[in-house]
Amino acid sequence: MSHRPIGIFDSGLGGISILKEIHKRLPSEHLIYIADSAYAPYGDKDKQSILQRSQKVVEYLLACKIKALVIACNTATVVAANHLRKQFPDLIIIGLEPAIKPAVKTTKQGVIGILATEQTIKSQRLQQLIHTYAKNIRIEKQACSGLVEQVEAGEFNSDKTQKLLADYINPMLIKGVDTLVLGCTHYPFLMDSINRLSNGSVKLLETSVPVTQQLQRILVNKGLQQVGKLGKVDFYSSELTAKQQNIIEKLWQGTIQIQQLPKPYC
C-alpha cells in the first residue's frame, strides 16, 4: 500500500472525465489533477510544444512525489508518452488511446467513425491501432478543430457547438457510421449533444473505464493500491479564472477547490 498520490493531467478540462472515473473506482487514492488550460488546445500545436508542456506538468507532479501518472489526454499520449517513459523509466505511466478495438466489436454495419484532435488523427499510433484491430472495417476519421475550445468555454449545447458537431458528424452518419470513437477526453462532455444529433442511433465509445481498470490492475500487482478512508483530490489549473472555477464544478458535479499551478510550471 502506498499513500503517495496519483498524478493526472490533460491540456485542460477534458481529463475530468477520467478523473471522475478514477475517483469513483479508487476512492481512497489521493489524486492530483492538472488542467493545462493556459496552453489548451494541445491538438493543433506542434509536437515540440506538446512535448515541452507535458514534460513541465510531469515535473510538477514528480515534485509532488506521485506513484503513478495518467496522461488523461489522447493527444499528449500519442505525442509525449514514449518520450516521458524514456525520461522517467521508474514511473508508472498510463496513456490513453482511442477505443478502436472495442469499436470493432460494437459495430454492426462495419463502419466506425473516429473523432479526435488533429495531432491524434494524423498520429502513427492511430494508424497502428487501425492496422492491428480494424483491418477489414471501414474507418471514417475526423479531426475536430474547435470542439476542445467549446468545452473549455463551458459551451456544451450552444448553437456554435451544435453547428460544429453537425459539420463533423452528419457526413459520417450519411456514410453509415454506427459506432463513434470519442478519441479526445473533452468529447464525452458533448455526449448529450451528439446523441441528440444522431437521435441516439450511434454507439459512443470513450475510455475512462478501461483506463481506470488498467491503473487499478497495475497498482494492485505492485502492491501500491491505497485503501481505507476517502482520498483527497487536489485540482490545479495553469490559467485559473472565476469562470473556469464554475465550469470545473459543473463538470465535476460538486464544489472543488482549485489552485493556480505555480511558477515555473506554467
Cα distance between residue 75 and residue 30, in whole Å: 25
Residue 207 interacts with ligand DGL (CB under 6 A): yes or no:
no
Q: List binders of ligand DGL among 217-236 (CB under 6 A).
A: none
Judged by CB under 6 A, which stretch of 5-13, 22-30, 105-113, 249-257 contacts ligand DGL?
5-13
Q: How far is the CB of 183 from ligand DGL (least distance, A)?
A: 7
Q: Is 73 a catalytic site residue?
A: yes
Closer to ligand DGL at the Cβ: 96 or 231? 96
Only one of the segments 1-9, 72-80, 166-174, 237-245 lies at the binding site for ligand DGL (rule: CB under 6 A); that segment is 72-80
Stretch near ligand DGL under the rule CB under 6 A, chosen from 35-43, 86-94, 132-140, 219-227: 35-43
In the set 61, 184, 194, 215, which binds ligand DGL (CB under 6 A)?
A: 184
What SS3 string covers 25-79? HCCCCCEEEEECHHHCCCCCCCHHHHHHHHHHHHHHHHHCCCCEEEECCHHHHHH
Gap between the Cα atoms of 197 and 174, Å rounded:
13
> From the candidates 64, 73, 144, 266, which is the catalytic residue?
73
**Interface map 111-130 toward ligand DGL (x if CB under 6 A):** ------x--x----------
11 binds ligand DGL per the rule CB under 6 A = yes
- The answer to whether residue 40 forms part of the interface with ligand DGL (CB under 6 A) is yes
Q: Which is nearer to ligand DGL, 145 or 216 (CB)?
A: 145
Start-to-end Cα distance in the chain: 32
One character per residue 74-93, x = contact with ligand DGL (rule: CB under 6 A): xx------------------
CA distance 176 to 202: 10
Q: Is 266 annotated as catalytic? A: no
Query: Which residues are known catalytic residues?
Result: 73, 184
Binding site for ligand DGL (CB under 6 A): 10-12, 14, 40-43, 73-75, 117, 120, 148, 184-186
